[in-house]
Amino acid sequence: MSSLKQLQDLIQEKYKIDPATLDPNASMLEQGVDSLALAEFLFDIEDHFGIEFPDARADINSLAGLAQVIDEIKASKAA
Amino acid sequence: MAAITGIGVVSPHGDSHEAMFAALMRGESAIHKFTSDLPNAKPAAVASAAFEASEWFTPLQLAGVDRVSQFAVAAAARAMIDAGAAGMYEPARIGIYVGCGMGGGSSLEAGYTSGLRSGRVPPLTIPAFMPNAPASHIAMRLKATGPVLTYSVACASSAVALGEAAKAIRCGEVDMAIAGGSEALLVPGVVKAWQAMQTLSVFEPGRAASSCRPFAADRSGFALGEGAAFVVLESPERARARGARRYAELTGWGLSCDATHLTKPDAGGQQAAIRNALAVAGLEARDIGYCNAHGTATRIGDVVESEALNGAWGADIDRLRVSSTKSMHGHLLGAAGALEAVITVLALEKRQLPPNACCETPEPACRLNLVRETGAAAPDLNAAISSSFAFGGTNAVLVFQRA
């Protein structure tokens, strides 16, 4: 399963947000996700994927952008 | 003085203050067994509140909102609905006054547990457990932009909050105050900490409901409770002008500190708070017909409270009917003063006295006219007090009169 699909499943499961209503390429903050909820979601992502987000990427808040960071981290772990 | 024009609760006896009062009048205890999976955990007797967070929050809104804040938002919103006061006042003229003893205990415990287990602490642990979070969540929900304050004075927290709110109404600092308290500490670590302090009632299998026995010879401590209670306060003139229902008026408030011991109560300090409250209300002790006592059912506490009441009432002590409703709803700690104030207000409004339940044999050292019967009517009742005495020595007494 792609990282993006897993993120969409995670956000649906946790916040009951239908992935179809959230543009993966747009900022989640600009789509009504509160900054505190986003911080909590990032923590859950780390748990789910077993990764740690680098502080330098903390500004990313679109689902597609997060999926890309996750894929990069996974790739660097695998290498 | 301030008129009480709205009431809202999240209580061990349910979400309706009317149904809660009716259950209390029937002498129904909401206390039951609590167990946890902590090492060496012993069962305790507690009174929990059935609560459905999804009635008040979307899953997204619940991020970082502890149970204590969820209770607070629900009870305060119910009080506002009950008062029919939405849109009546400028947001900047509305104040929020909240009593809370310990904040978000479940978030703090979950944060520590997670940290100890994995080294990772959830990022919203701090905003979830900070003790002023309940007040802030109410302010955001009700759009109140005036003073938004939290009083953390242990078991007197929300009695203090009501008194401070009434002062703010009287001096014109706010036009409307939403005042009350919230507490949600039925989590394994906190229950264990209270057990360690030897203040909780002895748990007896099959007898959990009657484990808190205030002013009884066989009392052994209190049962922890959880919940929230809020009232809407307005000046009597404004309340009348807008045709609001007035349950009762908060006419007196008295504070004092024992300044003797952190946890041992003191009759002199308690008496001072009673006298201060009566003086603000302009009443004599004999004018008061009912006292909703602090009555925690500890071995020492009930005797000291009886001494304080006897000191203040003197020869008139038999005219004062007394009950501790903690026997049925448990001790809500920071929310106790507000919940018991609501019960006192409803007792005045209905001229009915809730019983001092579970007291088969009264403690001989407590010379009080306890309400031992259920369904007690009080046709002549015009004024009542609610007492809250805190660890730390602060005593708070509120006087209510019929509107």
In angstroms, the CA B166 to CA B251 distance is 8
Residue of B60, B120, B124 with shortest CB distance to A33: B60
Please judge whether B58 and A47 are an interchain contact, meaning their C-beta atoms are less than 8 angstroms apart: no
pLDDT at B196: 95
pLDDT at B135: 98
Residue of A15, A32, A39 with shortest CB distance to B59: A15
Question: Residues B55-61: contacts with CB within 8 Å, 24+ apart?
Answer: B58/A15, B58/A16, B59/A14, B59/A15, B59/A16, B60/A15, B60/A16, B60/A17, B60/A32, B60/A33, B60/A34, B60/A37, B61/A34
| Encoded tokens for B17 | 């203050």
Best of B57, B58, B60, B65 to disrupt the A interface (most A CBs within 10 Å) is B60
Residue of B58, B61, B122 with shortest CB distance to A43: B122
Taking CB atoms and an 8 Å cutoff, what residues of chain A touch B60?
Answer: 15-17, 32-34, 37
Quick check: B251 and B280 in contact, CB under 8 A? yes
Taking CB atoms and an 8 Å cutoff, what residues of chain B touch A42?
Answer: 123
CB atoms within 10 A of CB A21: 8
Taking CB atoms and an 8 Å cutoff, what residues of chain B touch A40?
Answer: 63-64, 122-124
Q: Is the dihedral of CA B335, B337, B343, B349 positive or negative?
A: negative
pLDDT band, very low/low/confident/very high, at A77 (cuts 50, 70, 90): confident
Percent of chain A surpassing pLDDT 70: 100
Return the DSSP state at B393. Answer: S
**Element at B141 (helix H, strand E):** helix B133-142
CATH 3.40.47.10 for the B2-241 domain, yes or no: yes
Q: Which residue ranges of chain B lie beneath pLDDT 50? A: none
Best of A11, A17, A21, A40 to disrupt the B interface (most B CBs within 10 Å) is A40
Please judge whether A40 and B120 are an interchain contact, meaning their C-beta atoms are less than 8 angstroms apart: no
Return the DSSP state at B374. Answer: S
Paired with B257 in beta bridges are B394
In angstroms, the CA B252 to CA B287 distance is 13
Residue of A14, A16, A40 with shortest CB distance to B122: A40
pLDDT at A1: 80
In angstroms, the CA B242 to CA B225 distance is 36
What are the structural domain ranges in chain B? Answer: 2-241, 249-401
Q: Judge if B2-241 and B249-401 fold alike in CATH terms.
A: yes
**Element at B397 (helix H, strand E):** strand B394-401
Q: Which of B393, B163, B386 is nearest to B294 (CA)?
A: B386
pLDDT in tens, B171-226: 999 999 999 999 999 999 999 999 999 999 999 999 999 999 999 999 999 999 99
pLDDT band, very low/low/confident/very high, at A65 (cuts 50, 70, 90): very high
ipTM, interface predicted TM-score of the complex: 0.91
CB atoms within 10 A of CB B300: 11
Q: Is the dihedral of CA B400, B255, B358, B289 positive or negative?
A: negative
Closest CA in chain B for residue A39? B123
pLDDT at B169: 98
In angstroms, the CA B144 to CA B139 distance is 5
pLDDT band, very low/low/confident/very high, at A59 (cuts 50, 70, 90): confident
What are the structural domain ranges in chain A? Answer: 3-78
pLDDT at B389: 98
Residues 6 or more apart whose Cβ sits within 8 Å of residue B277: B252, B253, B254, B385, B397, B398, B399
pLDDT at A57: 79
In angstroms, the CA A78 to CA B1 distance is 71
Please judge whether A43 and B120 are an interchain contact, meaning their C-beta atoms are less than 8 angstroms apart: yes
For A3-78, which CATH superfamily applies?
ACP-like (1.10.1200.10)
Taking CB atoms and an 8 Å cutoff, what residues of chain A touch B123?
Answer: 39-40, 42-43
Q: Is the dihedral of CA B166, B239, B341, B380 positive or negative?
A: positive
Residue of A15, A36, A46 with shortest CB distance to B124: A36
User: Under DSSP, is residue B245 helix (H, G, I), strand (E, B) or coil?
Assistant: coil
CB atoms within 10 A of CB B124: 20
First to last CA, chain A: 20
Shortest distance between the Cα of B109 and any Cα of chain A, in A, equals 17
Task: Tally the residues of chain A.
Answer: 79
Shortest distance between the Cα of B135 and any Cα of chain A, in A, equals 18
- Which residues of B are known catalytic residues? 155, 294, 331
Return the CATH number of the domain spanning residue range B249-401: 3.40.47.10
Quick check: B331 and B46 in contact, CB under 8 A? no
pLDDT at B47: 98
Shortest distance between the Cα of A16 and any Cα of chain B, in A, equals 7
Quick check: B342 and B231 in contact, CB under 8 A? yes
Taking CB atoms and an 8 Å cutoff, what residues of chain B touch A14?
Answer: 59
If you search the block for the tokens 């409703």, which residue do you land on?
B325
Taking CB atoms and an 8 Å cutoff, what residues of chain B touch A46?
Answer: 120
pLDDT at A58: 76
